Structure 1
């Protein structure tokens, strides 16, 4: 108990020192994040594919799904944007894994104003999501680990995600009725690792609200890792707010997305799940 208290005092002193240091200057920086996905290929293709073929498909999917992002930030604002790959003209698969149909653009967060702006291309139509920042009920844990040169603390929260978020779902036996779980939500535990050495309440994607910059996120089969952190660089320009697209709030956008996903599932069923390129 005594050692734990001493440790807490050291952590608090570290946080206070970092905070006072950053508060005295116009603090800014860039964090580079890599996304990783764990694919379950056991039953892919009805279990009829060879291991070599599964590996080929998995490698191709990872090349599409795994990306690099840059989080440009100051004390209150941030812009999270995909870093374009050299020689790639593809708009990307975004977080849905459907090339050319859904692409997530730059995302702006202002923690002082609780403001979120997100550009999104949905089936060729541009939207601008304009809403308040999502609220996360973070549970601060005592576990620590080092990421690069930064001491990080663990935090967890519970998040609801749609059952069919990453695909169309399996066909029903009748072929024309949606499965029961297609519109359900499930809860997943999200684990974050944040550092008090950068006492900003920012993080990758939608995530924010911890007493330090989030350097790692693990949510289900997806993970986001900070690979590089540059602080107080003079090369950073003003953070530009996304402005392109039809303005909608998050609830309106999710309703449009749900409708489009339902239409795609029905189209897939009518086609019998066949590959149209044949």
Structure 2
């Protein structure tokens, strides 16, 4: 009897272990909403144009600017990519979307197990940003919210030493991943709220699909490898160079 019980225990433990080791393939649709400070935007509009663009710009910002993304993950590796749409909109909102689309075309690759990410950029030259995933010190609360059909729990943290982040994750999906560079909670992150470049960003899952078939994650390899800090230093230097070439000494009034 003891031998039978021991054999059953070993078998049951093996079944649980195999279930935990099995990759979890998911496709998650997210929508990012950007909320801008209209007064700050209008302050940068030339006085000659302000009367013409102020009202439509206020309405567009009030209605919100939205971009769709898709996360594909096998539980340890993931790809987060913007879903491009044909955009012939010549409004201020349309131009903002066009600028973001031009910069953010390439997918973000994350390796949760090895704790790093890759992000290609092509700004006249091909770069491959490679850096560590930030270890956000999440604080989990009991506050709940229903998102995409899942009960989620609220968590707060700080990234880049200064940016406050609020996230909602579901423990029902045991994947420590999420949109953009967010990760590290005991379940899939379905919502993230933070501020970036003066805009409030809200990324919310709209659909979660569990896939039976294997999802292949493409790891980017093209471009000059560079850290995030080095990349933004180069972009800042390039921006200053363009200002000197095309804007230096020109009276903007």
TM-score range, shorter chain: 0.7 to 0.9
Helix, strand or coil at the partner of 2:38: coil
Q: Name the TM-score, length of structure 2 as normaliser.
A: 0.75
In the alignment, what sits opposite 1:31? 28
In the alignment, what sits opposite 2:231? 253
Judge which range, 58-67 or 247-256, deviates more: 58-67
In the alignment, what sits opposite 1:193? 168
Q: Using the alignment, how far apart are the partners of 1:115 and 1:146 within structure 2?
A: 30
Q: Using the alignment, how far apart are the partners of 1:214 and 1:272 within structure 2?
A: 48
Residue by residue, what CA displacement relative to the aligned partner does 1:189-219 show, whole Å, maximum 9, x if unpaired? 1100111011111011111111111111110
Contact residue 72 and residue 215 of structure 2 kept, 8 A: no
Distance 1:21 1:211, change over 3 A: farther
Give the aligned length: 224
In the alignment, what sits opposite 2:69? 69
Helix, strand or coil at the partner of 1:137: coil
In the alignment, what sits opposite 1:105? 106
The CA deviation at 1:82 is 1.0
Cα RMSD after superposing both structures? 3.4
Contact residue 64 and residue 97 of structure 1 kept, 8 A: no
Helix, strand or coil at the partner of 1:230: strand
The CA deviation at 1:160 is 3.8
The answer to whether 1:229 aligns with 2:204 is no
In the alignment, what sits opposite 1:212? 187
The ranges of structure 1 where at least 4 consecutive aligned residues each deviate by more than 4 angstroms after the TM superposition are: 19-22, 58-65, 92-100, 264-269
Judge which range, 139-148 or 29-38, deviates more: 139-148
Larger Rg: 2
In the alignment, what sits opposite 1:147? 147
- Unpaired segments ≥5 residues, structure 1: 1-18, 162-186
Residue by residue, what CA displacement relative to the aligned partner does 1:89-145 show, whole Å, maximum 9, x if unpaired? xxx989995675x345211111111121111122x2221112222221211122111
- 5 Å-filtered alignment, 1:6-45, equals 23=20, 25-45=22-42
In the alignment, what sits opposite 1:12? none
- Unpaired segments ≥5 residues, structure 2: 1-15, 89-93
In the alignment, what sits opposite 2:116? 115
Contact residue 148 and residue 208 of structure 2 kept, 8 A: no
In the alignment, what sits opposite 1:244? 222
Judge which range, 141-150 or 69-78, deviates more: 141-150
Distance 1:45 1:95, change over 3 A: closer
Contact residue 87 and residue 98 of structure 2 kept, 8 A: no
Contact residue 94 and residue 103 of structure 1 kept, 8 A: no
Helix, strand or coil at the partner of 2:39: coil
The CA deviation at 1:63 is 10
Q: Name the TM-score, length of structure 1 as normaliser.
A: 0.68
Q: Using the alignment, how far apart are the partners of 1:109 and 1:249 within structure 2?
A: 15
In the alignment, what sits opposite 2:56? 56
Q: Using the alignment, how far apart are the partners of 1:214 and 1:86 within structure 2?
A: 29
In the alignment, what sits opposite 1:131? 131
